[in-house]
């Protein structure tokens, strides 16, 4: 699997955001993509009205786009308050209220990967208490994911952009994955390997791939610096995806990058149109 041979999907929460949510699946399809992923689209509504869920489902189906990844409720993304499941009080309650809503929505679209973002450390709350709350909520999320035939993804963010997030390295994310699997006995928690975040942390990406691909359920990419399209920065993404292939990864590669100053449809010139549609 080289850079042009992977199964790519487009994250509609960072690309095509110049368009209303319900227009983005069709825009992705017009650009040649047949698979998409989403952060939880309703920042202030962990349990949106059925009509809103139905409208988004209809937009995805009408465009012929497959939803391959979905975040549970995580607050404002992008933003400094990202993540909810380890934040005591209202945010954690929102996360719990969202669990079955998100899982059922994913199931209705054949989506089999649900991402649960840890929350920031909170002043006045012991880290151990937050981690205990996180494990409780991740256990609930893993069971809901299992119920709908999905994996639960645990993602490492990066310390420069998320300095209050405690999950900012691959080993730490893997530690959480293992704790959740031990707590549930379901073995459906997996690592979300975001190569941009890991590179921002200064991690050895070759080592991460070699050590953790067997526990990886999804991969996301953006170049660094700048979090833009492949070739805009210094990451050798062709080499990294080739190494993932040799390590046995055959899943989706999420395009989770900023489009730049122009429209999102112009941010895919690096990828020939015939390589954009999902294959196999």
Q: Which residues are tagged catalytic? A: 155, 256
Report the residue count for the chain.
Answer: 280
User: Residue 237: phi, psi to the nearest 5?
Assistant: -70, -30
Six token digits for residue 69? 């990844």
Partners of 36 in the β-ladder: 10, 67
User: Residue 183: phi, psi to the nearest 5?
Assistant: -70, -35
Partners of 35 in the β-ladder: 66
Contact of 66 with 278, CB cutoff 8 Å: yes
Q: Round to whole Å and give the CA distance between 199 and 177.
A: 20
Q: Round to whole Å and give the CA distance between 146 and 240.
A: 30
What residue spans of the chain are helical by DSSP H? 24-30, 50-63, 90-108, 127-147, 170-184, 195-200, 205-212, 237-246
């Amino acid at each position: 699997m080289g850079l042009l041979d992977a199964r790519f999907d487009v994250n509609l929460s960072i690309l095509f955001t110049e368009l209303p949510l319900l227009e983005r699946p069709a825009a992705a399809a017009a650009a040649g993509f047949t698979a998409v992923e989403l952060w939880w689209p309703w920042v202030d509504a962990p349990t949106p009205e059925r009509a809103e869920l139905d409208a988004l489902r209809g937009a995805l189906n009408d465009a012929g786009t497959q939803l391959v990844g979905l975040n549970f409720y995580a607050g404002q993304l992008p933003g400094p308050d990202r993540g909810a499941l380890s934040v005591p009080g209202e945010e954690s309650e929102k996360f719990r209220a969202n669990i079955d809503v998100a899982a059922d929505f994913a199931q209705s679209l054949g989506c089999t990967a649900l991402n649960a973002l840890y929350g920031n450390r909170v002043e006045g709350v012991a880290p151990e208490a937050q981690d205990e709350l996180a494990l409780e909520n991740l256990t609930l999320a893993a069971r809901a994911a299992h119920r709908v035939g999905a994996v639960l993804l645990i993602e490492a963010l990066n310390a420069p952009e998320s300095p209050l997030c405690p999950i900012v390295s691959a080993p730490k994310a893997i530690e959480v994955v293992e704790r959740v699997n031990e707590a549930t006995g379901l073995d459906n928690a997996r690592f979300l390997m975001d190569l941009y975040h890991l590179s921002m942390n200064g991690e050895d990406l070759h080592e991460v791939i070699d050590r953790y691909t067997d526990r990886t359920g999804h991969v996301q990419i953006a170049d660094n610096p700048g979090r833009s399209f492949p070739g805009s920065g210094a990451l050798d993404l062709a080499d990294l995806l080739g190494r993932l292939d040799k390590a046995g990864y055959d899943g989706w590669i999420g395009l989770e990058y900023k489009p730049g100053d122009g429209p999102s449809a112009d941010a895919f010139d690096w990828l020939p149109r015939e390589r954009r549609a999902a294959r196999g």
